[in-house]
């Protein structure tokens, strides 16, 4: 008889805490897919919204946090925080040593590997990065791509939740 895999793995051992960081400008279905999968790997998943002063975001930090909150309310073990500065300093402060990152096509690889090595080295080899491979259907999905599609009023339903798509369209119209 075929059994649901869920039955076997529900009570498996998990990490106590992991952190998923990103700009989420705005949150896409690709981000949410990684969050859903990561949330099953740990007791507590912290989603950290990057607010780098040298970056030009479309949405303000408050808007990005608000959209995340709304989009992630079905998850019980998730906390949303914001940060700027060195990620390893934040990790130290919250005593969490695992960073989750999503890995899409080859283009992500160099950048993500450099980040992972950097964080490992400057944390005296304490902070590890765990990569989750992007789901096939979201392999080429990025926030910058949806911003571009929205600019030309293209179809967003495969990439964004309706509420986020509406916010994005309104934002771009108002510019
Ligand atoms: P950044 O500004 O660091 O690129 P993003 O918000 O774009 O931040 O992404 C945060 C993390 O989510 C990164 O690890 C990125 O690779 C991952 N990610 C983004 N889009 C997807 C997707 N479609 N599928 C899987 N992972 C993704």
pLDDT single digits (tens) 148-172? 999 999 999 999 999 999 999 999 9
102 close to ligand 1 (CB < 6 Angstrom): yes
Cα 111 from Cα 2, distance rounded (Å): 41
26 close to ligand 1 (CB < 6 Angstrom): no
Quick one: pLDDT at residue 7? Answer: 77
Question: Closest ligand 1 atom to the C-alpha of 143?
Answer: 7
Residue 3 backbone phi and psi in degrees, to 5: -115, 150
pTM: 0.94
For residue 129, give the nearest of 142, 119, 141 by alpha carbon. Answer: 119
CB atoms within 10 A of CB 56: 6
19 close to ligand 1 (CB < 6 Angstrom): no
Q: H or E element: which one contains 129? A: strand 128-133
- pLDDT tens string, the chain, 175 residues long: the values are 667 877 778 778 899 999 999 999 999 999 999 999 999 999 999 999 999 988 999 999 999 999 999 999 999 999 999 999 999 999 999 999 999 999 998 888 999 999 999 999 999 999 999 999 999 999 999 999 999 999 999 999 999 999 999 999 999 998 7
- The rounded Å distance from CA 3 to ligand 1 centre is 33
């Amino acid at each position: 008889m075929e059994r649901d895999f869920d039955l076997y793995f529900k009570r498996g051992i998990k990490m106590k805490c992991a952190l998923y960081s990103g700009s989420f400008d705005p949150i896409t279905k690709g981000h949410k897919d990684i969050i859903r999968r990561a949330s099953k790997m740990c007791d507590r998943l912290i989603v950290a919204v990057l607010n780098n002063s040298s970056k030009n975001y479309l949405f303000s930090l408050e808007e990005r946090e608000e959209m995340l909150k709304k989009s992630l309310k079905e998850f019980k073990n998730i906390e949303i925080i914001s940060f700027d500065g060195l990620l390893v300093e934040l990790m130290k402060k919250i005593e969490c040593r695992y960073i989750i990152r999503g890995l899409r096509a080859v283009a992500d690889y160099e950048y993500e590997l450099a980040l992972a090595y950097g964080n490992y080295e400057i944390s005296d080899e304490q902070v590890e990065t765990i990569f989750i491979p992007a789901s096939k259907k979201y392999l080429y999905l990025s926030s910058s791509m949806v911003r571009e599609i929205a600019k030309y009023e293209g179809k967003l339903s495969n990439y964004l939740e309706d509420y986020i798509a509406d916010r994005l369209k309104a934002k771009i119209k108002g510019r």
